[in-house]
Structure 1
């Protein structure tokens, strides 16, 4: 009986890890019921809601496909989207299956599959260079998209990323055998090794969710990446702490303007 208890715990963690890792917000009404600001448009493909589109301020110089973080939905990422749009990028805010107003089941594998498909849809639909932006969980998703399509990504911005989900899980899970339990290791450093395009990594100095050492380790593993650290920011406040000069540096590296 004493042996059975830890075995049941491990089995529960293995079978239920998507529910433990992901925190989708199911409380939003369907996209048809929402009155959106005039600047935002639902992104629909064959009648299916995939997210939102924010057009660039002025002529679009390209498209940024934005993968958001955990515990929320695309509506929470409008401030970041507006920064991108202000630099001339059309922003495609990808919603994850089972999050917000998008139908489907929330899970790591459904998210990864949808991200790959949605990136290709964006590539075909909008002309010009396509950039990839990911925050937190979305940075890990973005890295896997880049791994599959390195020659089609003009540049990438990864905000508060992990170096790998397995490494982060080991830090959080103590003595549990996470390397055996995880369905997906999501090793961003490995995924980006073969990517030679413009890459910017942003870390938050006081991040208590994904410690900043992950962003630093990812930058060390990818010497061609530009690294920016917002010293006073935590995981959810980096946008409020970044100053205009840092935005200029970030976008200069991302868009090849420096």
Structure 2
């Protein structure tokens, strides 16, 4: 019996070590591409490259013909690349927003490796750059894991971001991981995204969109975060939708509602 228990303990310890070493491969699923490929694809989507002062490609901008009501920085989920989110510019540019798709370090054609620090630092730097461009308000759209990136960036740049649009967000990544891997101790998690804590000081308007049948982060996680938000807020639940099955068609009245609320949350 003792030998059996020792063997089981050794196996469990091995699983924990493997999970610790492999966790970022389980959390981040970037699509990689050469810069030339990314530029060609972006051109077909009507997007222009956005570079930092060092010339590094850090994202994509959608042209806006008229006055800018707000600059919206999109922080995408953990899979694919920023170019996979062209539906956000298609939906929101017609409502007067300049939409900027941030690419994460280690995603698309951007060099680097993904981590909480790398992604949130890139987002905070991008927020600073956009705020310096003019008086127009800076908004963030955080999608899934991007809601954690957005929350941490808000904490890193207090008072700069005026509004949030959170799509399938979560409250704490430790709770999400515990749901999927209940046998693993939470202290093994290195990238501890915690929007419910990072947004504790944010009192701007927030629009939250939840998938009622979310099998990845659960609708309960989104509701928990929504309840914790201090400022004006609105919740929309697509009851039958799964995590990757939200209806985000650009023609939906939803987008007009989002922009109207974030611009004038009181009326």
Equivalent in the alignment of 1:124: 132
Equivalent in the alignment of 1:152: 160
Aligned mates of 2:261, 2:178 — CA distance in 1:
32
Alignment partner of 1:151: what SS?
coil
From 79, 95, 102, give the equivalent of 1:94. 102
- Tell me whether 1:186 sits opposite 2:196 in the alignment: no
Is 2:116–2:192's contact at 8 Å kept on the other side of the alignment? no
Bigger Cα displacement from structure 2, 124-133 vs 181-190: 124-133
State the Cα distance separating 1:73 from its structure 2 match: 0.5
Bigger Cα displacement from structure 2, 45-54 vs 229-238: 229-238
Is 1:230–1:241's contact at 8 Å kept on the other side of the alignment? no
- Structure 2 alignment gaps of length 5 or more: 1-5
1:136-215 aligned within 5 A: 136-178=144-186, 180-215=187-222
Bigger Cα displacement from structure 2, 145-154 vs 159-168: 145-154
**TM-score normalised by structure 1 residue count:** 0.91
Aligned mates of 2:157, 2:257 — CA distance in 1:
26
Equivalent in the alignment of 2:21: 15
Equivalent in the alignment of 2:93: 85
State the Cα distance separating 1:223 from its structure 2 match: 5.1
Is 1:228–1:250's contact at 8 Å kept on the other side of the alignment? no
Is 2:87–2:248's contact at 8 Å kept on the other side of the alignment? no
From 13, 17, 31, give the equivalent of 1:25. 31
Aligned mates of 2:185, 2:126 — CA distance in 1:
33
Give the total of aligned pairs.
Answer: 256
CA RMSD of aligned residues (A): 2.1
CA deviation string 1:32-83 (max 9, x = no partner): 7732137310011221100101123522122111100111111111111222
State the Cα distance separating 1:160 from its structure 2 match: 0.2
From 12, 19, 44, give the equivalent of 1:37. 44
**TM-score normalised by structure 2 residue count:** 0.88
Distance 1:147 1:108, change over 3 A: closer
Aligned mates of 1:71, 1:129 — CA distance in 2:
28
State the Cα distance separating 1:229 from its structure 2 match: 1.0
Alignment partner of 1:42: what SS?
strand
CA deviation string 1:66-120 (max 9, x = no partner): 1001111111111112222121111111001111111112333322222222222
Equivalent in the alignment of 1:62: 70
State the Cα distance separating 1:158 from its structure 2 match: 0.6
State the Cα distance separating 1:240 from its structure 2 match: 4.0
State the Cα distance separating 1:14 from its structure 2 match: 1.6
Distance 1:12 1:181, change over 3 A: same
Structure whose alpha-carbon radius of gyration is higher? 2
- Structure 1 alignment gaps of length 5 or more: none
1:223-238 aligned within 5 A: 224=231, 225-238=233-246
